[in-house]
């Protein structure tokens, strides 16, 4: 019985710090936001919540010149001593 009580007490002592919440400091959050905003500078977006972004419309591109088509190449005659590639069968056995 003593072992069970000691085990429960030890478990409670170990889990108590993990369950404790850290305090939230709003002043610290504001200071961090000010520091980060100063470092970011002008790379931040400039839209307010009330402003609707205006989309940029690109002018129509002129007609594209057709690319020349290559004539079909002749196939190898087979006299070069090479064998055609053949896929081998794969075993589907799973151990």
Task: Record the pTM.
Answer: 0.26
Q: How many CA atoms lie within 13 A of 19 on its CB side?
A: 6
Structure tokens at 18: 């993990």
In this prediction, residues 65-94 reach a mean pLDDT of 71
Residue 78: pLDDT over 60: no
Residue 76: pLDDT over 60: no
Query: What are the tens digits of pLDDT across the range 6-60?
Result: 888 888 887 777 666 667 788 988 999 889 888 877 765 666 777 777 777 777 7
State the DSSP code for 45: -
């Amino acid at each position: 019985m003593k072992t069970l009580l000691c085990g429960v007490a030890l478990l409670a002592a170990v889990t108590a710090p993990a369950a404790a919440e850290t305090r939230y400091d709003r002043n610290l959050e504001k200071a961090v936001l000010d520091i980060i905003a100063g470092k970011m500078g002008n790379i931040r977006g400039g839209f307010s919540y009330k402003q609707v972004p205006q989309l940029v419309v690109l002018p129509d591109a002129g007609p594209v010149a057709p690319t020349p088509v290559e004539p079909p190449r002749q196939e190898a005659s087979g006299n070069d001593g090479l064998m055609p590639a053949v896929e081998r069968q794969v075993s589907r056995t799973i151990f």
